Amino acid sequence: MNAPLPMHADPLLLTPGPLTTTAATKAAMLHDRGSWDAAFNEITAEVCTDLVAIVHGQRSHVCVPLQGSGTFAVEAALGTLVPRDGRVLVPNNGAYCERILRILGVLGRAAVELRFDESEPVDAARVEAALIADPRISHVALVHCETGTGMLNPLQGVAEAVARQGRRLIVDAMSSFGVLPIDVRDAAIDAVVAASGKCLEGVPGMGFVVARREALEAAGGVSHSLALDLHDQWRYLQRTTQWRFTPPTHVVAALREALVQYRAEGGLAARRARYAANCARLVDGMQRLGFRTFLSPALQAPIIVTFLAPQHPAWRFDVLYARMRDRGFILYPGKLTLVDTFRVGCIGAIGVDDIEAMLAAMAATLDEMGIEPGA
């Protein structure tokens, strides 16, 4: 049996979030800040400016930060930017698309599901055909990277289709923001939704919506909720420079530090290259151990990889998880409904050396479990 980790050692989080963060990001949370203090308000403004710039929205979009996880921000975007008599097309190829459909149901917004297989990317031509067939559809809600599988959906093609048909697009970019290119200068993109604890390598606790100013201005009184009203949050922030309700001050400070590191690393291109190197080494190493990926390489985003569970009598994910945790690595269970899988993340403050160490731990764990490489 493995010796447990020392008390001071944190395991590496090879998950879709929360993620492993740097010591500097953690250190940014060691100070207490007043939520109405001018210094904290300046941090908020700086963070919002940086987030808008990442998606090229300086002339057309604004950032609205929100307390809570990424799902809070997704619900806030749908509840604020989709009119109560609106109708949302949801291309569905995974668990987080399903979540959007569930949110719309709770909000009482009409939804049209466009079903795809979990191993199939969204088809922009089918999206456009659905828009032509139903002129009542006002919005499309697209998950850019379906974190349940690691699937990369074609944002550009869908945005062009939505623009041609004169509709509006809301993008769940939870697992892609800051790593995969997004350009909100496309006339169709009304909102991009993400969170602090993903590829920007902050800590969880703050969602945000980069919203088209015109769309947000027109959304007064639309929201079903006080706390999740993006229009009201934005107006208050504009008027006072403060959040409406108690902000996650430590989380915002950590994100500001994470964004400093993001720029120093080289921004989107450099972070994408690091994650892509992590992903390539992970897939190669796991294949050498006998695992197969759920997705083909052409569909795989360099965010998180879904592996098929081996057909072996000794296989148990809970045993693998516990022994890998003892060795210093936290993995993630699968999210698919019909196939037995598990997931390994490529993101966070990690590099290829960390992936190499994880692969060595995986080989040792499989040996303990009696699962020979290639089985």
Give the model's pLDDT for residue 6. 40
CA torsion through residues 41, 42, 47, 53, sign: positive
The residues with which 305 forms a beta bridge, in sequence order, are 344
Give the model's pLDDT for residue 334. 87
Give the model's pLDDT for residue 8. 40
**DSSP three-state, residue 338:** coil
Q: How far apart, in whole angstroms, are the C-alpha atoms of residue 74 and residue 309?
A: 31
pLDDT digits (tens, 9 = 90+) for 134-152: 999 999 999 999 998 999 9
pLDDT beyond 80 at 244? yes
Task: Answer yes or no: are the C-beta atoms of 180 and 152 closer than 8 Å.
Answer: yes
Give the model's pLDDT for residue 337. 65
Q: Which of 160, 145, 262, 139 is nearest to 211 (CA)?
A: 139
pLDDT digits (tens, 9 = 90+) for 62-106: 999 999 999 999 999 999 999 999 999 999 999 999 999 999 999
Two domains, one topology: 12-20+266-369 and 23-263:
no
Domain 12-20+266-369 in CATH 3.40.50.2300? The answer is no
pLDDT digits (tens, 9 = 90+) for 341-365: 999 999 999 999 999 999 999 999 9
The C-alpha angle with vertex 198 and arms to 358 and 330, in degrees rounded to 5, equals 30
pLDDT digits (tens, 9 = 90+) for 105-125: 999 999 999 999 999 999 999
Fold of 23-263: Aspartate Aminotransferase; domain 2 (3.40.640)
Q: Where are the domains of the chain?
A: 12-20+266-369, 23-263
Q: CB under 8 Å to 55, separation ≥6 — which residues?
A: 61, 177, 182, 183, 184, 192, 210
Task: Answer yes or no: are the C-beta atoms of 66 and 228 closer than 8 Å.
Answer: yes
Overall average pLDDT of the 233-258 stretch: 97
